[in-house]
Amino acid sequence: MFGLPCRVTRLSIIFVLSSVIPFSFTLGAEATRKISAPSNSRTSARTAASRSRLPIVKPETVGLSGSQLARIDDAVKDAIEHHETPGAVVLVGHRGRIVFRKAYGNRSLEPEVRPMLVSTVFDMASLTKVVATATSMMILLERGKYRLDDPASKYLPEFAPPRKDSATSGRPANVAWDPQDKSHITLRQLMTHLSGLKPDFDLSQKWTGYAEAIRHLGDETLQARPGTKFTYSDLNYIALGEIVHRLSGEPLDQFSEQNIFKPLGMRDTSFTPGEPHRERAAPTERRSGTESYLGGSPATSGPNEFRQGEVHDPTAWRMGGVAGHAGLFSTADDLAVFCQMILNHGEFSGVRILSPLGVKTMTTNQVPAALSHDAPSDSHVARGIGWDIVSSYSSNRGDLLPPNSFGHTGFTGTSLWIDPSTQTFVIILTNRVHPNGKGNVTALRARIANIVAASIQEIR
């Protein structure tokens, strides 16, 4: 399907398998880097968190079947052989322990073959929405900065009501709605994709820069009356990323770094990663290919140069790499800490990021019952604050994990799913868009979720 050169297809698939035995993670070369923390009573706890990782144990010690989990090997191997992805990192956590953590295949096929490693840095794509943006918004909610049903225009003047003219001034509100009027969109509707905004900007429009993106938000028209239709939209989270900035006084990347990633010791998680992390990153598509999404934008690089450690999403790319919907980079180990924090009701290793009720609100369905069937293909939809619970996008839940579980996916091939009822999470990281954007890991995500669910031998 990828049409790879013969020399590549003849290469043996490289599997890098980490041993699944009890041991503690080590910080490696970055252990000597100082982690700044506020000078208060939580400083020692934050420092401890920066050094901690989940222990890795044999699955049987926590009630899972190791032989069942081993079936993940065949599922991933099959996906690689069918050119659905060049490689993958799969990590499974259960009851505060890591029970499965392996790297498969290659992180790069072109211009040279490089094996996948468990430490590979991935472009998170839309996982940015839940890991960075929604979590930042919930932190600000807990600080009393806003209410969920506040109009977004209160904090984002670009959504202010349009000037009335003769065509709209006398129109009764119960007769029609004005597609130019975004002033009725609430923050809850942005977070649950019920705003009425379309999925993305018109990529054929030629503009660049973060400020231009926010200005274009103000020019967008609604496709549906706010609160009446579920439409998954990057524009919702671009708006929320800017609202984090305006409520906190810090850009999204800085706020999430100081309030989520650094306290949790997520040392490999950031927007616009530096050179060491860029070198460890899994490449995505050729730069010329991703730039072609932008309406024939003039190429800024050679045709064979791949994006590596640089955001793949075309809108986030022309916004400078920091956006509420995409732009975050991370690793499986860092995401494991984040997932465990959620399962721990907002706390990890003595550091509290969210309150228990904050986590409960984020992971509880916020979609009105009247809209429960208003989703693509008329399927049931349930969304939390950022989190996907049930929708046409939640294939990574599989068929066995219960409906009160939640997760998210990313366009580049990333996904995570969390089940509080069994205290389990599944992280699947791939760069399925490498090398030519034609990979597809939808089926792989579901297969792995089913294997993991079937491995659980004890339900408490």
**364-390 pLDDT tens trace:** 999 988 775 544 444 578 999 999 999
**Residue 191 Cα to chain centre, angstroms:** 14
pLDDT value, residue 28: 32
Q: Are 175 and 365 in contact (CB under 8 A)?
A: no
pLDDT value, residue 295: 67
Q: For residues 100 and 92, what is the distance between their CA atoms, to the nearest angstrom?
A: 5
**Residue 44 Cα to chain centre, angstroms:** 29
Q: Are 153 and 161 in contact (CB under 8 A)?
A: yes
Which structure tokens are listed for 437? 């954007």
Of 117, 119, 87, 118, the closest CA to residue 435 belongs to 87
Cα–Cα–Cα angle for 363, 368, 374, nearest 5°? 105
- Is pLDDT at 454 greater than 70 in this prediction? yes
Model confidence at 291, in pLDDT bands (50, 70, 90)?
Answer: confident
pLDDT, one tens digit per residue, over 221-239 is: 999 999 999 999 999 999 9
**Across 17-159, where does the E strand assignment appear?**
87-94, 97-108, 114-115, 122-123
Percent of the chain with pLDDT over 90: 75
Cβ-Cβ contacts under 8 Å for 82 (sequence gap 6 or more): 1
Read off the pLDDT of each residue in 265-269 and give the average, rounded to a whole number: 97
- Is pLDDT at 308 greater than 80 in this prediction? yes
Q: In what order do the strands lie in the sheet with 328-330?
A: 122-123, 328-330, 270-271
Q: For residues 407 and 427, what is the distance between their CA atoms, to the nearest angstrom?
A: 10
Q: For residues 102 and 449, what is the distance between their CA atoms, to the nearest angstrom?
A: 15
pLDDT value, residue 459: 82
pLDDT, one tens digit per residue, over 353-369 is: 999 999 999 999 999 88
Q: For residues 125 and 122, what is the distance between their CA atoms, to the nearest angstrom?
A: 9
- Is pLDDT at 174 greater than 70 in this prediction? no
- Is pLDDT at 296 greater than 60 in this prediction? no
Specify the DSSP class assigned to residue 94: E
Read off the pLDDT of each residue in 99-118 and give the average, rounded to a whole number: 97
- Is pLDDT at 35 greater than 90 in this prediction? no
- Is pLDDT at 98 greater than 70 in this prediction? yes
Domain 6-135+252-455: top CATH class: alpha beta
pLDDT, one tens digit per residue, over 404-418 is: 999 999 999 999 999
